[in-house]
Amino acid sequence: MTAQVDLDKVLPATPENEAKRRELLALDAATRKRMAPKGKLRLPELLDRRRLEYGITDGAFKQALAYDRILLWQIPEHKEETFMEGGHIVMPDQAKDRKRHECPRGILIGAGARALDSLRSNGIDIGHIVWFINSQPWRIVVDIVEGKRFQALPMNAGDLIGSEDLQRNLETGKCRIVSRENEHGVTEHFFEDENGKVWKPQQPWIGDDMP
């Protein structure tokens, strides 16, 4: 399916829509020029696929995260609210941007080493679609395309509340939660992957200056 056919579904080809249609197609083309081909950035496979799917420009991957910090690319609750099939932008107007910015859902596009320790021990990894506590006041601009500012959310690993991909892995049997009794007779819960490897979930790191 081409971008033109997709655009016809959400913005019919009428004289009054012509200017907006040209604007959307130009922005989409300019955004795609800021995105390296598949595999070029040497990202994890899932993240590489999702950056192309959701139109995440290369500027989002120009820095390595430190400590317990993570970086999220916020996305709407329903993909079709902002994107056409194939990742093309549908309606990047102020109303859609506001709705996306209010949704506590995003793609995990970066994490510091300390964050990875706790996230991976809980079955969450780079590229996952995650939900988070939507109280982060800070955003950083990672790219500007045709005057449109693309922003990402910096936060701490402990601000995440769950992962859609983890839930999918649990449902498909790629991992499961098992319980075991420790030497003190207390039952503890662990993750076990499809190969039988078991790992214990870790709490996110909390600094001394944090409440």
What pTM was estimated for this model as a whole?
A: 0.77
Measured over the CA atoms of residue 85, residue 86, residue 90 and residue 94, the dihedral's sign is positive
The domains found in the chain, sorted by start residue, are 3-164 (2.30.33.40)
In tens, the pLDDT along 97-145 reads 555 567 899 999 999 999 999 999 999 999 999 999 876 668 999 998 8
Residue 186 tokens, joined: 């207390």
Can you give the pLDDT at residue 209?
A: 53
Q: For 135-154, how does the pLDDT look when each residue is reduced to its tens digit (9 = 90+)?
A: 666 899 999 887 888 899 99
Report the DSSP beta bridge partners of residue 141.
151
Q: How far apart are the C-alpha atoms of 122 and 102, rounded to whole Å?
A: 26
